[in-house]
Chains A and B, each alone.
Chain A
């Protein structure tokens, strides 16, 4: 259900505003309203927007700068494995701001230095890695070449499949150096040939141009050793190749150490800085007179007395909080938050996929909690699949205990799998017809034979669901006091009931007199609907078609059963028991995967499209209380 809200106004002397703000921040239940409509009427006379003041703005900027540093540090430092659960360290707590800031600066400088070094080493290593094969191939060739003041070297790499370039290169080198050159070759790997060009120093520029013209890949050395002779450079590279990983490990070790020492404190500091900044920012939503501050907002009605008592205890009547009437124009802007019993709450995840319901309308979560497992179970309807799903949901719940989102979905699928088991018992299905072979018999119907029975069951469930939706629509319309909507919904209800009576009478399920009553209801309800509810009310007729949409409960269910039967049949046809079990198992596994996805989507669709259409009004404004963040929430 949607939590009942009260609109409030808090007033007090301006001098108390920082303390009041801190108290409200700690209580964490007030949704501050920045532009309540009633302010506009009196602001020109008395109220004006609260002015934060230059020193506070400066303070906010300083805090934001520090917060950015802290965030950057948290990104750069490796998170210790226990960061999610450990109690935050308090090294920075209760220190003067300047001392904290200078500590963070020093830490940031060291971390920047370490990460910078690490990056340089890693980049260099990646270049060396790229050339490792070529270097390994070229290094023995270097020893054959005598170091000389008159000679120069260039390393090149040629793809084996482009080796026809070699004669052209040799020809060009001969012409360029007047036969004063040598090329030493070594195969780097199956695809790459490494070569060392040796030539007179004076030809260096021309040789480089030649390589560029022939599009031959010259071995480019890292900038730090570019000016060294090739032989010496190779030695340095080989040494670096061994040395760089050690340097990277050293930097990592120091970063780990810094992280162990500081990470918890940084998380705490980040939460504290965010809280301080938010306390400054929220003041921009407050109002003031010459002597007082005024805060408008919303809070759950259930918390009203507690907050008022808290303010009275603390300030002894100098700060007052009063409920104020809600203006007509802001009814759609009342913040919305949902509250449901623990066994219904996980289903809120499905409600939250759509925009929140508007304040004053109906929260559909309890209905989803009943009908989603029902539909899901009806579609899967297999004891074996239900048990497997139940086990999987149990494992996920245990494994992701700390993640509320996954935990909620695991709970939802636990309920859905129990429903699948119950429907499986009713259909007499255990991995398709395997149950029948083991002596299991259907209580309700055999889905592979009782198609029409199944079809009527799906339609009956559709009728109940749609009529419930229309009923909720009538209730909402009455609550909102909208007469055309009430007439449209009521006549829509009569139309569906009348049509059903007529059909049941024709089919012989009800006495013939029901046909006349039903026909009369249909004939009367349509004009009443359009005349009383307006032309758009004719959309209510759509409910008749919507009921047919529930046939998917049968359709998808039968498809799932047929696949399970096929899995058993194919498994049995193989003739080899092990292979048969393997094939059957794979097909059942596939069916189960479809069996999770498809029933979920189809069940949700029946809610979102057919059911919600009758009463759900989205577009609710989320309730965002002004509350302190903790290091866990901030993380």
Chain B
């Protein structure tokens, strides 16, 4: 039972953060395509903006690993 809860916790940690990252990237991505079409030189800045939300998923992944390895 406890192992199951730990696994659900780890899954929620990565799942929810990945979902949030996806939501954020979808909006940024749509705007970014428009920006690059109008101003191709903004590509570098746009890439940075696009990958910023990924930190959320990375944090989620780390928390998931910490849950799995420290709560055993």
Contact = CB atoms under 8 A, between A and B. Distances in A.
Contact of B48 (A452, A549, A554, A609): A609
A602 interface: yes
Contacts of B16: none
A601 B43 CA distance: 13
A410 to B, nearest CB: 20
Contacts of A555: 57-58, 61-62
A608 interface: yes
A354 interface: yes
A455 B54 contact: no
A605 B58 contact: no
Interface in B33-71: 43-45, 47-48, 51-52, 54-55, 57-59, 61-62, 65, 68-69
A403 to B, nearest CB: 19
B21 to A, nearest CB: 12
Interface in B1-57: 43-45, 47-48, 51-52, 54-55, 57
Nearest to A546: B55
Contacts of B45: 354
Interface string A599-625: 001101100110000000000000000
Contact of B52 (A355, A451, A452, A609): A609
B47 A353 contact: yes
A605 B61 contact: no
A551 B62 contact: yes
A552 interface: yes
Contact of B58 (A452, A552, A608, A609): A552
B43 A551 contact: no
B59 A548 contact: yes
Interface residues of A, number: 18
Contacts of B55: 548-549, 552
Interface string A448-484: 0001100100000000000000000000000000000
Contact of B59 (A355, A551, A601, A604): A551
Interface in A547-562: 548-549, 551-552, 554-555
Contacts of B43: 353
Contacts of B61: 551, 555
A150 B47 CA distance: 75
B69 A552 contact: no
Contact of A604 (B47, B57, B62, B69): B47
A353 B58 contact: no
Nearest to A605: B51
Interface string A316-358: 0000000000000000000000000000000000000111000
Nearest to A351: B44
A462 B58 CA distance: 14
A450 to B, nearest CB: 10
Contacts of A354: 44-45
A455 B58 contact: no
A605 B62 CA distance: 18
Given A455-B62, A551-B61, A353 B44 contact: yes
Interface of A: 353-355, 451-452, 455, 548-549, 551-552, 554-555, 601-602, 604-605, 608-609
24 contacts: A353-B43, A353-B47, A354-B44, A354-B45, A451-B65, A451-B69, A452-B65, A452-B69, A455-B62, A548-B58, A549-B55, A551-B59, A551-B62, A552-B54, A555-B58, A555-B61, A602-B54, A604-B47, A605-B51, A605-B52, A605-B54, A609-B48, A609-B51, A609-B52
Given A455-B62, A602-B51, A609-B51, 5 more contacts: A353-B43, A353-B47, A551-B62, A552-B58, A605-B54
